Amino acid sequence: MPNERQLATLIWLGVFALLILLHPKGRAGVRNIAARVANLKIIIPIVALLVYLGVLVFVGWRVKWWTIDLTTDTVFWFFGSALVLLFNIDRVSKTERFFRQVVLGTVGVTALTEFFVNDLFVFSLPVELLLMPVLSVLVMISVLAGHEPRFRSVKRLVDSVLALVGISLVVYIGVRVVSGWDAIDKVDFALPLWLMIGVLPFIYVVSLYSNYERAFKWIDFEQNGGPSRWRAKLALVLRLHGQLRDISGFTMFWGKEIAATSTFREAWRVADKFRASWRERQRAEADKQDRLRRYAGVDGVDNEGRRLDQREFEETKAALQALATAQMGWYRNQGGRYRPELLEILESRFEHYGLPKNHGIELYVADDGQSWWAWRRTVTGWCFAIGAAGPPPDEWLFDGPHPPKRFPGQDKRWRHWGAGAKNW
């Protein structure tokens, strides 16, 4: 039987579902979601996961790690942990040491959250029904306030309340564990631990299949069939031998390269070349991230005159260049004028480049629409700017401790075509 917290969860889910179904747009959204879920590529993995979980439960029952009393906990674990892991399958190949992180997180956190909290720290049903929405609202307020600098005081207050609740919870659990360890059901305690560890091989296989399927599509895109296609796929499988992070980096370029080979040895060499190139790219990215961490807050320049602290440099330049590309297109296609309203049109996309919601980009366009410039100050205090003093493809770049004060060509610190703008 579900405990009071699980009952409260089911009741609130039922209330939300009813509210959604009572609203016409909500019903339309449910139909859209159902249509997307009714896809064999989604249904088959879910069914396979259910079957795999059934096998795990049977094995656990045979070795006395599972009893019929754990049915409700197992169902909640399936929907709360297993399905979440399955639907985030892309993270498996993109996250370094993903499985190690999951195992360590399971051993270190799940035992508390899944057992101590849900079994030892359960209130009466009325209290659970009240507590659940209150805590949910507080968490949402904290998350939303974190995106708005003017609400930082609200976030600090809410986080303090949540911290107080968390500390009280830890103290209460500690007392309960110390005083009643002998009475704790060890089988119940271990359930989420061995279920999570047991399901990881299934997640690996699904991720492996998904990544190879994506890679094979690039090969098929360049081939109409025949032995060369299968030869290329076999070489790729044998050379990468199940390394998820390597397979995830296979692109259309490499699909074209390996599909063009005429022998297995050539295909093997292309697969080997891809693997070396991809790993070098990963090393370069790791070095870049290490450099950002190492020089965070450090003033000064390197031997080439580039700033040591380059946080937000790449993100800022990418956003400004996207704005410049849009200005160029609008000038050519919309009456030969640069547009001041482009900032409002494009600002929702700046988060895609890694900038915060309040991106801080400022845009200036001349009254005659024949010149423009935009700038942003990074978290380091360093400023980047881009603009044009004439029709496309004219381009001026700037970087410095302070933003430009005038349009390109009117301020000597601007660099035409970027010549001398060292941090660009």
How far apart are alpha carbons 331 and 241 in whole angstroms?
51
Q: Is 324 helix (H, G, I), strand (E, B) or coil?
A: helix
The tens digit of pLDDT for each residue in 293-336 reads: 999 999 999 998 999 999 999 999 999 999 999 999 999 988 89
How far apart are alpha carbons 121 and 191 in whole angstroms?
17
What does pTM read for this prediction? Answer: 0.70
pLDDT at 387: 97
The yes-or-no verdict on residue 276 having pLDDT over 90 is yes
Query: Strand runs (DSSP E) across 69-148, as ranges?
Result: none
pLDDT at 372: 97
Lookup: tokens for 146? 């974190």
The tens digit of pLDDT for each residue in 5-62 reads: 777 778 887 888 888 878 888 778 777 877 776 777 888 999 999 999 999 999 999 9
How far apart are alpha carbons 142 and 195 in whole angstroms?
32
